[in-house]
């Protein structure tokens, strides 16, 4: 099975409600989809969102990196030679993590198809059912409480609460939500780099003293402020999770050496794909550090790849934040990974198991 072409498309899917964080507000998914064609007629699918504020990737940069740099190196390559193909993707260009992730997941999709096995089994196997949390966007307190209760009614048992806008209001938001859902759901906080180290310690002490029990707090300070992450981790009882501070294996090793986080959030769009995500999971396993698998605003194409990885690495990926499809107004993918509110289940279809994708708009790269 050899690669013959890579084609591009745009996928647009409206969200049920606007997605609001300390960094941005988004109303729809607008992601680049790639299709890696082969001489056997098999097609591998990948997806990349333009998340410039986090990864630096834009629609234009994703297409250019793949079409001009990766594609020429990949044409004619044999999918069976997986490590070599992955090396060509990773070493041909620096950064461009989401572009690399899209191509890698398409290649891994084909690798599973080549051997007629679902990707999670190719990566080590596991129980093909997991449960995700759901994000509660930052908003007025009453709206966030209502959204939280509605999520519980839909079967979600873990809520990720977006904060980071205003420290005083953030504390009141969390207190109100906790009072409404205590005993019904676990709470995770995500400040999206919105606090200073001292603000984070102040807020978490206030919440802890008020009896609010949080499962974790995610990326409270700026991504590069590892000293700030360490400052918080040493001073609060709530576990601290690194997200934007932990793109690849090297950053994770540094966080572990500094004891600057308790948990690592793995996202394929940060790691540059499945290969580095596996390395991170293995590193954390050595140090007995738990991981979460997360996603950007992505459809069930790329979230399916993350779900396969989560199942295969369930010994270390113990927390699931793959709510992208649940936030969408509809699922454009007919595939083997099913997203039903909190439950994600995977069948034994080969590769990622994607049969078709609705509403793709073909894109032609600039010549």
Task: State both tokens at 194.
Answer: 């919105």
Q: Which residue has the tokens 């679902």?
A: 118
68 is in an annotated binding site: no
331 is in an annotated binding site: no
> ∠ at Cα 257 (254, 258), nearest 5°?
85
328 is in an annotated binding site: no
Residues that are catalytic = 162, 267
Q: 9: buried, middle or exposed (CB in 10 Å: 19+, 13-18, 0-12)?
A: middle
139 is in an annotated binding site: no
Contact 281, 267 (CB under 8 A): no
How far apart, in Å, are the Cα atoms of 140 and each of 145, 153, 174? 9, 20, 12
CA 58 to chain CA centroid, nearest Å: 17
Contact 232, 220 (CB under 8 A): yes
189 is in an annotated binding site: no
Q: Which residue has the tokens 């949080």?
A: 214
5 is in an annotated binding site: no
How far apart, in Å, are the Cα atoms of 148 and each of 157, 162, 224? 10, 11, 31
Binding residues for substrate: 24, 135, 160, 295, 297, 321, 323
Binding residues for Mg(2+): 190, 218, 243
Binding residues: 24, 135, 160, 190, 218, 243, 295, 297, 321, 323
């Amino acid at each position: 099975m050899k690669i013959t072409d890579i084609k591009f498309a745009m996928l647009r899917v409206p969200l049920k409600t606007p997605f609001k964080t300390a960094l941005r507000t988004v109303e729809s998914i607008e992601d680049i989809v790639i299709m890696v064609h082969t001489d056997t007629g098999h097609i591998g699918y990948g997806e990349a969102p333009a998340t410039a504020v986090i990864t630096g990737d834009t629609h234009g940069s994703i297409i250019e990196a793949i079409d001009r740099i990766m594609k020429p190196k990949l044409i004619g390559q044999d999918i069976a030679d997986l490590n070599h193909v992955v090396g060509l993707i990773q070493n041909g260009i620096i950064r461009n993590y989401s572009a690399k992730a899209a191509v890698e997941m398409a290649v891994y999709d084909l690798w599973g198809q080549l051997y007629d096995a679902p990707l999670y089994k190719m990566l080590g196997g596991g129980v093909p059912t997991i449960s995700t949390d759901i994000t509660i966007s930052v908003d007025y307190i009453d709206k966030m409480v209502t959204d939280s209760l509605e999520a519980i009614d839909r079967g979600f048992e873990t809520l990720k609460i977006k904060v980071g806008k205003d420290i005083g209001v953030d504390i009141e938001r969390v207190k109100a939500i906790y009072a409404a859902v205590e005993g019904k759901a676990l709470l995770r906080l995500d400040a999206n780099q919105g606090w200073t180290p001292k603000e984070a310690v102040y807020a978490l002490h206030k919440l802890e003293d008020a009896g609010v029990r949080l499962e974790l707090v995610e990326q409270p300070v700026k991504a590069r402020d590892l000293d700030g992450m360490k400052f918080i981790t040493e001073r609060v009882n709530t576990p601290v999770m690194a997200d934007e501070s932990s793109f690849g294996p090297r950053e994770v090793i540094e966080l572990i050496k500094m004891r600057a986080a308790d948990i690592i959030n793995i996202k394929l769009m940060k790691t540059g794909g499945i290969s580095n995500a596996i390395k991170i999971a293995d590193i954390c396993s050595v140090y007995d550090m738990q991981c979460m698998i997360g996603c950007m605003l992505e459809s069930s194409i790329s979230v399916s790849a993350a779900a396969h990885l989560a199942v295969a690495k369930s010994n270390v990926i113990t927390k699931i934040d793959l709510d992208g499809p649940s936030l969408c107004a509809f699922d454009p993918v007919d595939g083997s990974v099913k997203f039903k509110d909190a439950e994600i289940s995977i069948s034994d279809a080969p590769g990622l198991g994607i049969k078709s994708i609705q509403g793709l708009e073909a894109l032609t790269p600039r010549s």
